[in-house]
Structure 1
Amino acid sequence: MSANIDRYENAVARYFEAWNAAEPEALAKTVAAAWTADGSYTDPPPEGGPPADVRGHEAIAAVITAAHAQFPGFAFRLAGAVDGHHDTARFSWELVSEADGSAPVAGSDVITLDAEGRIRTVLGFLDRVPAGA
């Protein structure tokens, strides 16, 4: 495995660590470890809702907290391999129920990294969303 693939996979692992952090202190720590200080997160709007288009650790943590509130008892999981080149990587994910293993929400994200492998930008795409979510 090349150093670049390791770099992308490590960045994505930190990304999921942040998305799955439940406690506010752990969330703040994992977001800071995954994103640059001015990192951004952009996602399409859920049905009837505003899109996420935020910058900075606190705003990113707030988006993650809102997702946990909307989908309690769910965890984000990598779905497939991480692919990348230069400072850009892409991957797919699922939001999985810890109770029954169902995955009603799925998407794909494209991230750009800084020289240290921290996320500068996330551009999210929703591939599967239940009605009314």
Structure 2
Amino acid sequence: MTETIAPDETSGHPAPSTDASGTEAVLDRYVRFWNADTEAEQRSLAAETFADRVEYHAEIGVLTGTQALMDFRDQFLDHMGTASLQLRARPRFHHDRARIQWEIVTGEPDGDSAGSSFATGTDVLVLDGNGRIASVTTFLDRAPEGFDPAAHH
């Protein structure tokens, strides 16, 4: 598919595109960042994907910078073990925004299952003028069992 959205001349932001060289490529790197096997791979993906001072807004708090995102992921994996972020639907785009719906699956897949669903959510990403992710706002659509949002304020 090579659908392209016309530039928004009022915002000055690049026109989002659903071709492999545009916004979909950034979103692919975003998912790969969360699923990276090594710190080196994650650091490389972060450099290509995120603006220098990316902000991540979630119920657990606000994180700033790629190192904070990497630390957050490492803490999650230390607590949960194996986990992966998977898309639940085709990403949606307009102007300098993208929306992805995701699921976190924990545990090792075996021959009969793909692991256990931990949580589902939606991320709204804002792209900067260079096509990198400047901010992420994440919403839990189905919170993990026992999650208390008040405990994170």
With the length of structure 1 as denominator, give the TM-score of the two structures: 0.85
Q: 2:37 aligns with which of 22, 29, 54?
A: 22
Pairwise CA distance, 1:75: 0.6
1:63 aligns with 2:63: no
Q: What is the match of residue 32 of structure 1?
A: 47
Q: Deviations over 1:11-55 (max 9, x none)?
A: 2111111100132222222122210111111111xxxxxx23111
Segments of structure 2 that go 5 or more residues without pairing to the other structure are 5-16, 148-153
Residue 54 of structure 1 aligns with an amino acid whose one-letter code is: L
Give structure 1 regions of 4+ aligned residues with deviation exceeding 3 angstroms.
none
CA RMSD of aligned residues (A): 1.6
How many residues of Structure 1 are paired with residues of Structure 2 in the alignment? Answer: 127
The CA distance in 2 between the partners of 1:96 and 1:90, in whole Å, is: 19
1:2 aligns with 2:3: yes
1:88 aligns with 2:102: no
Q: 1:111 aligns with which of 107, 125, 141?
A: 125
The CA distance in 1 between the partners of 2:78 and 2:61, in whole Å, is: 15
Q: What is the match of residue 54 of structure 1?
A: 63
Q: Deviations over 1:55-100 (max 9, x none)?
A: 1121121112122223321110111011011100101001123323
Q: 1:57 to 1:104 in 2, by over 3 A?
A: closer
Pairwise CA distance, 1:103: 1.6
- Paired residue secondary structure (2:62): strand
Segments of structure 1 that go 5 or more residues without pairing to the other structure are 45-50
- Paired residue secondary structure (2:117): coil
- Paired residue secondary structure (1:22): coil
Larger Rg: 1 or 2? 2
The answer (yes or no) to whether the contact 1:52–1:63 under 8 Å persists in 2 is no
Q: 2:134 aligns with which of 120, 125, 133?
A: 120
The CA distance in 2 between the partners of 1:64 and 1:34, in whole Å, is: 16
With the length of structure 2 as denominator, give the TM-score of the two structures: 0.75
